[in-house]
Structure 1
């Protein structure tokens, strides 16, 4: 816990250094606005003094024109300041979201062994969105809350140093009150984010499993549970708002106190006939709201810091950024004739469960097929994840044509590898778009040829718009065998020299399995293939068989 808090504070300090630079335009516009507000107050004071002077003209046109001009300029500066603040927040969010996605992509699917996808979604979307206020409002407001009142006090001291002391004293009361409310705000914000993450993870799980929920008649129970989670989030949010209002109340009381004391001072002078310059009195009184305006902005943004702190606690738990490429010449391999070798590879996911791979060694010559067999948990999927670059072995080497995969550019590794798993991931869109996902620059003719080779065209011909028929998320609208053929079409289109097949027919009926295997046989021609499967039909592919037991090679045939 201490390490997490230390990491969170270090992260906040680093982001503050970056944020101060982006906040400079907002601060500059804010200070100019304060200067113009001072000018408006001076014009109002001059107008009053001129109007009350015996020899003055009835209407002080010059002072009133100056007041109007300053008002227009302030409105323009306010617009520019809002735009600059938006850009500061948007720039920070883009940077942080890019960094977070880079970390998640570098960690790969192996991260889902430890973290719920709903939780990760909440971190990348909601937690980073909550940081907008830190950069757009909090950092400029923190600077203006010091520079603005100091500027106003200096101006007020020129006109009336006693009134300036009253302003300064009232202003010093605000930070103490806000600090007291801030302690509660930090705790409430963290609890609110925790409730939000819980609700999102639960909702995502239930949406994914909606068919199971309906089948078992649990829709009503799940609706009640989701309602309870949503109500918990509502209560946490209202607690944050209640604490946030405390700082606003303290600010209003301080401003009222300063206004009353200064008004009493000039009121007493007026009653005693000692108020020689009513214009100065009006000028100082008009400076009171301007003195507290930066503090009011600071109070409004005060909670953003604690929202950011709660978000930082989640962001620092993301995987570390990808390691830089080793200081070695980047290796290249031939596009065809790919030989794969494992040399004493070891990897452990969980120390308590023992090694997933324990000194595994094998070699697959170019153009040959290796069938990985063995019970569940023997290490077949771990081999696939290493070859796909999702995880690196803790010891040993994995080579492509003698080049260690750690020295290969990730993009090059991805181009050399095609993978078909147990449940292909299809996105909401047309079948053609899902096939083209493997190679976005492919032409329609190339997509059509891949669909023909995978026999996608045979069932697409029965659909309303053929390959341009829209399917739902996860391939909704297609059967398991049809979705698997779309995955095979992707592999045909990608035309990679290494083909990885991880239980590609596990969920298919025998007839569909036979059709899919026939398409896969065509796909394997001229490629190096590693197939992991329990299916006896899949083992009819031929090639060499490697039995795995507890992460070791038990036998080869």
Structure 2
């Protein structure tokens, strides 16, 4: 999408250079007339004014094309990066702040590359050659002076660019570290205050901010050095052309208009190169940003694996000697775990924190792969499926439901966007969302704030249960679904969850003793191993 806009920007830039050459010729004729040479008059003045207006219009059009190219490139890169982050899911161990910096700051830094650097790099070749050709048509030596000056510019840029690239990478590293730390600490601000660590964290953030300031100033110093080199080359070129036409040819210059034209072409010659020099720093910033984006964008989104033609209506889950280790220093999360949950049955996983309950759910949702053993759905290897196919088969309710800013209906429909209004209403009724939605001004069309602002924890959890009802998947996974709820609300949510699990295969990871009253099979875990036998099923 950005490529046609970049080509349009380059085409407009070429037209601008052509207009600049023509305008320089007309102005040279007018100046020669003021000095007593030539016969340029009012028509040339009017035409020069018209070309100035055309140049202004072309400049506006070029700027708009560049902005559009940058926005299109950012939209594409951000969509790809966000899609990869969604694919990686919880397997991406970077802090939330670091991932936010990737899709916001790093992608924003790429805008200048597409909006300014790519067009400027092309025009830095085409534009000076056009100007040098026009100058050479009048005086061959002047044309060669401009060509030599143009060749010196990239040499000076390369000399400054080696240090600038390294400085830019370090600057972006400092920016990402500061952004990630700031966001993570803001999310954990109550904890910091609780343990009286706010002053220490304030000092740590100050150190990170000072590091970013120092690195930013280093990048700016290199930028000023590069600009100074460009101006030095331009001044030397102007002096050489002036000496050529003034001292060498002298008063007996055969064409004074051509001499003035050559001098006026110097700014036109260096204008594309100046834009190139300015955009060069955009390229350096983009290089620093791309260092972190490239591995993410180069990742395979969905990974290998089989694709389901249709989701099976019923599923039997089997774990056979499954082992999983996240960090060898912390030991195994699952150590030879085996169990079986028949189609339509419910298994309650009980145990202390760290016993391995959540790891079982992560494996079933494709967010982790076992190190050993076998996980089967209906007797077939479940790990042969693509991770997103595993998630198609599951409906999940966690400890805390995250609600986005939007209506209740939109938040419920998140689990199945194509669902009609009747299906959303049925899911809301089954999860008892209608018990409180009926009292809201617009019912399910009532807008809630980001994070479920305006709803209680129990109400938000009912919305999460409604999502699971609407998804209507054969495998239900519940991870501490009644944690943080008061006893009355917990009983109501558990009643909805019992209806949700009815007729579906369900695995519940919980500490709540109330789930034992369901009469379902219970498997006690400790250290990633099964303790005791299941109370029901095989």
Q: TM-score, normalised by structure 1?
A: 0.85
1:167 aligns with 2:150: no
Q: 1:338 aligns to what?
A: 315
- Tell me how far 1:355 sits from its aligned partner: 3.5
Out of 127-136 and 400-409, give the one that drifted further: 400-409
Name the Cα RMSD after superposition.
Answer: 3.1
- Determine the C-alpha separation between the residues in 1 that align with 2:182 and 2:338: 43
Residue 314 of structure 1: which of 272, 292, 300 is its match? 292
- Determine the C-alpha separation between the residues in 1 that align with 2:330 and 2:528: 12
- Structure 1: 4+ residue segments shifted above 6 A: 18-22, 50-54
Residue 255 of structure 2: which of 261, 271, 277 is its match? 277
Task: For structure 2, list consecutive stretches of 5 or more residues without a partner in the other structure.
Answer: none
Question: Helix, strand or coil: the match of 2:128?
Answer: helix
Equivalences, count? 533
- Determine the C-alpha separation between the residues in 1 that align with 2:302 and 2:461: 34
- Please give the per-residue CA displacement for 1:229-263, whole angstroms capped at 9, x wherever unaligned: 44443443333223212111111121122222322
- Please give the per-residue CA displacement for 1:7-52, whole angstroms capped at 9, x wherever unaligned: xxxxxxxxxxx99887443333323322232222223334455676
Return closer, same or farther for 1:411/1:492 CA change in 2, 3 Å cut-off.
same
- Tell me how far 1:86 sits from its aligned partner: 2.8
- Determine the C-alpha separation between the residues in 1 that align with 2:504 and 2:74: 43
- Tell me how far 1:222 sits from its aligned partner: 4.9
- Determine the C-alpha separation between the residues in 1 that align with 2:166 and 2:416: 48
Map 1:356-375 to 2 at 5 A: 356-375=333-352
Return closer, same or farther for 1:512/1:20 CA change in 2, 3 Å cut-off.
closer
- Determine the C-alpha separation between the residues in 2 that align with 1:157 and 1:107: 58
1:152 aligns with 2:131: yes
1:90 aligns with 2:71: yes
Return closer, same or farther for 1:397/1:60 CA change in 2, 3 Å cut-off.
farther
- Tell me how far 1:115 sits from its aligned partner: 0.6
Question: Helix, strand or coil: the match of 1:260?
Answer: helix
- Determine the C-alpha separation between the residues in 1 that align with 2:457 and 2:32: 86
Task: For structure 1, list consecutive stretches of 5 or more residues without a partner in the other structure.
Answer: 1-17
Question: Helix, strand or coil: the match of 1:164?
Answer: helix
Q: TM-score, normalised by structure 2?
A: 0.88
Q: 2:500 aligns to what?
A: 523
- Please give the per-residue CA displacement for 1:259-294, whole angstroms capped at 9, x wherever unaligned: 223223333368x52123110011101110011111
- Determine the C-alpha separation between the residues in 2 that align with 1:232 and 1:428: 36
- Tell me how far 1:226 sits from its aligned partner: 4.2
- Please give the per-residue CA displacement for 1:190-209, whole angstroms capped at 9, x wherever unaligned: 22212221222222123323
- Determine the C-alpha separation between the residues in 2 that align with 1:20 and 1:466: 46
Contact 2:477-2:508 at 8 Å conserved across structures: yes
Residue 431 of structure 2: which of 454, 457, 462 is its match? 454
Question: Helix, strand or coil: the match of 2:343?
Answer: coil
Return closer, same or farther for 1:332/1:459 CA change in 2, 3 Å cut-off.
closer
- Determine the C-alpha separation between the residues in 1 that align with 2:421 and 2:150: 69
- Tell me how far 1:462 sits from its aligned partner: 6.0
Return closer, same or farther for 1:85/1:396 CA change in 2, 3 Å cut-off.
farther
- Tell me how far 1:82 sits from its aligned partner: 2.6
Contact 2:74-2:107 at 8 Å conserved across structures: yes
Q: 1:81 aligns to what?
A: 62
Q: 2:224 aligns to what?
A: 245
- Please give the per-residue CA displacement for 1:122-141, whole angstroms capped at 9, x wherever unaligned: 01111011011112211222
Q: 2:161 aligns to what?
A: 182
1:267 aligns with 2:246: yes
- Determine the C-alpha separation between the residues in 1 that align with 2:485 and 2:32: 92
Map 1:52-201 to 2 at 5 A: 60-111=41-92, 114-201=93-180
Contact 2:318-2:375 at 8 Å conserved across structures: yes
Contact 1:342-1:361 at 8 Å conserved across structures: yes
Map 1:397-412 to 2 at 5 A: 397-406=374-383, 408=385
Q: 1:290 aligns to what?
A: 268
- Determine the C-alpha separation between the residues in 2 that align with 1:44 and 1:146: 25
